[in-house]
Amino acid sequence: MSLQGQLSASISSSSSAFLAPSVFINSSRAVNVSVPSKRLGVCRCVATPTEEVTAYKTTVSRNANIAKLQAGYLFPEIARRRAAHLVKYPDAKVISLGIGDTTEPIPEVITSAMAQRSYALSTVEGYSGYGAEQGERPVRAAIASTFYKDLGIEEDDIFVSDGAKCDISRLQVVFGSDVTVAVQDPSYPAYVDSSVILGQTGLYQKDIQKYANIEYMKCSPENGFFPDLSTVARTDIIFFCSPNNPTGSAATREQLTQLVQFAKDNGSIIVYDSAYAMYMSDDNPRSIFEIPGAKEVALETASFSKYAGFTGVRLGWTVIPKQLLFSDGFPVAKDFNRIVCTCFNGASNISQAGGLACLSPEGLKAMHEVIGFYKENTQIIMETFNSLGFKVYGGTNAPYVWVHFPGQSSWDVFAEILEKTHVVTTPGSGFGPGGEGFIRVSAFGHRENVLEACRRFKQLYK
């Protein structure tokens, strides 16, 4: 009997799948092997018990509020889908007009100031360590005189930070979990997500795509992207962004006057996000403090991110007037100062040197030139979608174009555009249920990429 036959006879059929004949015999060449006549014993295969591996777990419960959040934060999710698309189409030239990240170089008048500050740190005379948590006084004074001249805002009302988004979360810590919140719908997702994390909301309601206990103020083409305040329930905090992200709409002086009066009537605090104020092309207010009485009911966040390309440098500020008081008469600014001193060591001194250069005459001129470039991009994008017959909003006062796809899922439109044109946009529903049926197209991009993206849009929708 051959070796193969002896083995086949002695191994149980239940084990034969693991020891196929091909393991022992080369199928391309026969081999004759002499073996002793001694009978082979039965080979028994005994299964070894699989050791059950259990990950060690602490006894600390997960924050139930974070568990309420749906999926991931919008912009990392878009980045994930972009990365997956590149795996599928490794040779495609993907153009990103989704995440609102700036693309043009920071003007040299600004970077040279940061470089000088950086090099000075290597000298005894120029070295500095911890700075004031509220920001360096020259920077605070320059912000006050540049953006709030004649508005009654003093440098002591200004807190310099590492960006408006970071300040939004710090403000939420000040307000705590017991406040009620209203947001524009659609709006920048950090407002809602930070409210969820702080425990200000109920559970997510999938049928209406809203969190319980948040007042969603509908902003649509039908109401000129300004909420009908007569239908808005009273809340403690009102988040309001103008020019708005994502719709690009800017509130008029009359509308902001209504908002301030609404806050006064209800004893509410307005958190006013003015991150795109320098993109304003018309006579609409650039600051909430242009409205009489606003200092009693509002604070304002702002940033150098979209003005000077500081998305990676990180520098912003928050204005909290002394007149803004809690119900017990305690100043809001003092509590914010306490949070800043506890949770923050102040903005980078190098970044603040750049911010001070931004606010010099040469820096302001350079920032306006960069902003003008992006606004030209918005015109190109708007003209493209208008020529294709779409309803287009925004663009005039913001670096975003808000395009309507009635009756369609925003994520489906996003996926179709990415699949067929290799262009990344942002689905409107990511900004709230009021954004369903829209996509946001960012004007932050190199000119050749914007032109190429628009050429692809025309091919897709011609």
pLDDT of residue 309: 98
> Tell me, which fold does domain 108-361 have in CATH?
Aspartate Aminotransferase; domain 2 (3.40.640)
CB atoms within 10 A of CB 456: 18
CA distance 319 to 42: 85
406 has pLDDT over 70:
yes
User: Are 359 and 368 contacting, i.e. CB atoms less than 8 angstroms apart?
Assistant: no
The shares of helix, strand and coil residues in the chain, as percent rounded to the nearest 5, are 45, 15, 45
Write the single-letter amino acid at 395: G
Give residue limits of the domains in the chain. 1-47, 71-104+364-461, 108-361
Give which of 174, 169, 198 is closest to 338, Cα–Cα.
174
What is the average pLDDT score of the chain?
91
Has residue 17 got a pLDDT over 80?
A: no
What six digits make up the tokens of 427?
């689905």
Q: Quick one: which of 331, 36, 33, 6 has its CA closest to 159?
A: 331
Local structure of 95: helix, strand or coil:
strand
User: Residue range 419-430: average pLDDT?
Assistant: 97
**pLDDT at 23 > cutoff 70:** no
Beta bridge partners of 438: 404
Over its C-alpha atoms, the chain yields an Rg (Å, rounded) of 30
Count other C-beta atoms under 10 Å from residue 406's C-beta: 8
Q: How confident is the model at residue 72 (pLDDT cuts 50, 70, 90)?
A: confident
The phi, psi pair for 214, rounded to 5°, reads -110, 135
Q: Is 213 helix (H, G, I), strand (E, B) or coil?
A: coil
pLDDT at 3 > cutoff 80: no
The Cα–Cα gap between 160 and 400 comes to 26
Alpha helices in 121-163 (DSSP H): 137-147
Q: Average pLDDT in the 153-173 region?
A: 98
Question: Residue 265 burial (CB < 10 Å; 0-12/13-18/19+)?
Answer: exposed
CATH 3.40.630.10 assigned to domain 71-104+364-461? The reply is: no
Residue 53 pLDDT: 74
- Give the Cα separation of 420 and 408 in Å (integer): 17
Please indicate whether residue 10 or residue 260 has the higher confidence score (pLDDT).
260
Residue 71 has a pLDDT of 74
Q: How confident is the model at residue 30 (pLDDT cuts 50, 70, 90)?
A: very low
Query: Which of 21-25, 73-77, 217-221 has the lowest average pLDDT?
Result: 21-25
Rounded to whole angstroms, the Cα distance separating 144 from 155 reads 6
Q: Tokens for 50?
A: 């699989």
Band (13; pLDDT cuts 50, 70, 90): very low
So what's the pLDDT on residue 415? 97
Strand-pairing partners, residue 169, are: none
- Please check whether residue 286 is in contact with residue 274, taking contact to mean a CB–CB distance below 8 angstroms: yes
Least confident of 76-80, 110-114, 308-312: 76-80
Strand partners, 301: 273, 318
Summarize pLDDT for 48-70 with one digit per residue, the tens.
566 667 799 999 999 999 999 98
Q: Are 385 and 457 in contact (CB under 8 A)?
A: yes
Give mean pLDDT, residues 166-182: 98
Residue carrying structure tokens 């470039």: 373
Give Cβ neighbours of residue 226 (< 8 Å, ≥ 6 apart): 219, 249, 251, 252, 255
Please tell me the pTM assigned to this model: 0.87
Provide φ and ψ at 183, rounded to 5°.
-135, 150
What are the tokens at 285?
Answer: 């207010």
Whether the pLDDT of residue 37 is over 50: the answer is no
**Would you call 384 helix, strand, or coil by DSSP?**
helix
Quick one: pLDDT at residue 51?
Answer: 63
Vertex 239 angle, CA 344 and 375, to 5°: 90
End-to-end, the C-alpha distance of the chain in Å comes to 77
- pLDDT above 70 (res 366): yes
Element (H, E) at 371: helix 361-387
d(CA 333, CA 325): 8
Helix H, strand E, coil C: the string for 280-310 is: CCCCCCCCHHHCCCHHHCEEEEEECHHHHCC
